[in-house]
Structure 1
Amino acid sequence: MKHKILRMKNEQQAEAKETRVPKGQGVIFIKTRRSDDKIHVLVTEMLEVADATGVEMVDIIVDELAGGDIDRESVDRLSDWIENSGVGIIFVKSITDLSNDVDDLDKFIEKAMYFGMIIVDFTEKAIIAPYLPEGDEE
């Protein structure tokens, strides 16, 4: 999935870097209805990665609802962290846990990128970042 925000002009990249530099704080978002023991194992794995990379986790959001609509309290809580805090990194079990709708997911990711967030997807072992690293321009 390509996101328009990742293809910003150099001036926009510089502005995005200045707007919100990740501060080493993160939030974990997990959508699952698994048992507490299985959730604990997944959270422990994410916390180990966070610790190894110097990320301080400030919240763990577990969404146990069955629906995949973006208009959920748990996603609103995550959005609040994005828009109103020093959090710079989101760990998700899977990026598609945020929404089943491609357009809604794209809009959420674009907002996260605007605020300078880094999203780490544990299922795909992928990182979504707001700008291309220096020297990686196309």
Structure 2
Amino acid sequence: DLRFLRGELEAAIEEGTIAPTGRDAFDPSDRAIGPCAYNVVESYIKPLTAEAGGMSWALLRHPRGLKCDIFLTHCWAEGAFEFIAKVLWSWPGGAEGAWCCIFANPQNLDISDLIKDPRTSPFAKALGD
């Protein structure tokens, strides 16, 4: 999925769907760092998942879900290409799926109720499984 996402992000940059902003002055020709997570969510994930019905990007890709072997964390200011490269480089052998909030949480919804109690939040559930 991350390789697929990288291709989708590269295409979105070429089309101008993802572009530099005041918050994210990335270089569209740079394929090492890429746009930050804020920009990817606002310009790519939210429009795509809203059009598909409002689910998370992960459920859009895998409607039946996946077993997650890895819990990923990220920095909102981190470049997407850098994040993807680091995850792929360090992926443990035998691992099949990963949970990462920007992909697993429905970005078009107000998830404040989901994270109100940290012990029952999607983050805690992912770590507990």
| Bucket of the pairwise TM-score, normalised by the shorter protein | under 0.3
Structure having the higher strand fraction is 1
Name which structure has the greater RCO, CA cutoff 8 Å, separation 6+. 1
Q: Give the TM-score, by structure 1 length.
A: 0.26
